[in-house]
């Protein structure tokens, strides 16, 4: 646990120095690489961490262009229906060293059951900030609305994988079009050697193809890497994120509570069985001889 905490502090420090702002909320727990899904974080689950991006210049691939902005974020789920994301961005690249605070909201309309044909459906809006009602806001500052659908399938050999599709405005749009579509695939693995979960993601976000993976340790530490616009090498952008979630901790607490309840029930059954046995033995005991 201490090793993971030290690693978290180191990567957060690096993020503060070299990170650059990206288009959306990248590599979040309920999302893919750069697109949302029809799922939300469950009630009481939260993620806290940072992310960074870096890109090689098209003219000289031996150099890497690094920004001087950093984003720290917090995502949490409420009532198994609502997910809220808060982002604090310091952009030292601007002349006045701007600070931007934004919020993302996602509402779950339909929850996908463990078995059945009903998909998960969610709507949301990204980058709610001080420029929401300002007519002079730039295109990149206008909030992006979306509608997303997710469904898990179980196929032979492939086993469980999830398909995600949706439509959205602003950053999801195609060129000058007002809206656009996005789609993605995700697959989770639990190899014994990893001592955690590995999730692979592939998506199209309206501007290009993105790919990434996430490693979730048993302690809740999450490390994710991704690449945006892998179909255009001149625009290839790399992403890295690190965060911590309490999901694994709550799962262990829930499992422990279930074990306690089960153990209590077994103890009660054993006590009742012993009482019944004593009653039967007493009833069948021969009367004492005179």
What is the CATH number for 21? 2.40.160.40
Closest C-alpha among 248, 226, 252 to residue 239:
226
Checking if the pLDDT of 5 tops 70, the result is no
| Same domain, yes or no: 274 and 226 | no
% of the chain beyond a pLDDT of 70:
76
Question: How many domains in the chain?
Answer: 2
| Same domain, yes or no: 208 and 125 | yes
| Same domain, yes or no: 138 and 216 | yes
Closest C-alpha among 88, 111, 100, 116 to residue 30:
111
| Same domain, yes or no: 178 and 274 | no
Residue 271 in domain: yes
| Same domain, yes or no: 262 and 170 | no
Q: Does 130 or 106 have the greater pLDDT score?
A: 106
Distance CA 184, CA 162 (A): 8
| Same domain, yes or no: 24 and 166 | yes
Residue 252 in domain: no
Summarize the confidence of residues 19-34 as an average pLDDT: 67
Threshold 0.85, pTM exceeds? no
| Same domain, yes or no: 66 and 184 | yes
Residue 290 in domain: no
| Same domain, yes or no: 169 and 34 | yes
Residue 265 in domain: yes
User: Which residues span the domain enclosing 188?
Assistant: 2-245
For the CA atoms of 260, 264, 266, 268, the dihedral, rounded to the nearest 10 degrees, stands at 180
Residue 189 in domain: yes
Summarize the confidence of residues 211-216 as an average pLDDT: 90
Checking if the pLDDT of 12 tops 50, the result is no
Residue 12 in domain: yes
Least reliable range by pLDDT among 29-38, 89-98, 181-190, 195-204: 89-98
* Long-range contact pairs involving 270-277 (C-beta distance under 8 Å, separation at least 24): none
| Same domain, yes or no: 240 and 265 | no
Checking if the pLDDT of 150 tops 90, the result is yes
Confidence of residue 289 (pLDDT cuts 50, 70, 90): low
**Cβ atoms of 190 and 174 closer than 8 Å:** no
| Same domain, yes or no: 112 and 166 | yes
Residue 251 in domain: no
Q: What is the mean pLDDT of the chain?
A: 77
| Same domain, yes or no: 155 and 266 | no
CA quadruple 232, 233, 236, 238: dihedral sign? positive
| Same domain, yes or no: 149 and 272 | no
């Amino acid at each position: 646990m201490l090793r993971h905490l030290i690693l978290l502090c180191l990567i957060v420090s690096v993020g503060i120095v070299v990170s650059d702002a990206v288009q959306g909320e990248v590599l979040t727990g309920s999302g893919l690489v750069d697109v949302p899904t029809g799922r939300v974080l469950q009630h009481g689950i939260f993620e806290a961490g940072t992310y960074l991006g870096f890109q090689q210049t098209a003219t000289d691939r031996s150099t890497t262009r690094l920004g001087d902005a950093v984003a720290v974020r917090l995502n949490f789920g409420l009532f198994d229906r609502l997910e809220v994301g808060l982002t604090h961005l310091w952009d030292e690249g601007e002349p006045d060293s701007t600070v931007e605070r934004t919020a993302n909201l996602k509402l779950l309309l339909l929850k996908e059951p463990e078995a059945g044909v009903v998909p998960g459906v969610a709507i949301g809006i990204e980058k709610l900030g001080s420029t929401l009602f300002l007519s002079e806001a730039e295109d990149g500052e206008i909030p992006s609305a979306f509608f997303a659908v997710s469904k898990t399938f179980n196929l032979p050999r492939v086993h469980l994988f999830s398909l995600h599709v949706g439509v959205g405005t602003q950053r999801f749009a195609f060129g000058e079009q007002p809206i656009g579509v996005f789609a993605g695939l995700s697959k989770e693995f639990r190899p014994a050697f990893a001592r955690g979960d590995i999730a692979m993601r592939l998506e199209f976000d309206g501007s290009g193809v993105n790919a990434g993976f996430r490693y979730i340790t048993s302690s809740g530490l999450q490390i994710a890497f991704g690449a945006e616009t892998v179909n255009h090498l001149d625009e290839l952008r790399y992403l890295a994120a690190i965060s911590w979630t309490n999901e694994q901790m709550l799962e262990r607490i829930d499992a422990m509570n279930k074990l306690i309840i089960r153990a209590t029930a077994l103890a009660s059954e054993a006590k009742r069985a012993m009482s019944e046995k004593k009653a039967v033995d007493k009833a069948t005991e021969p009367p004492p001889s005179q």
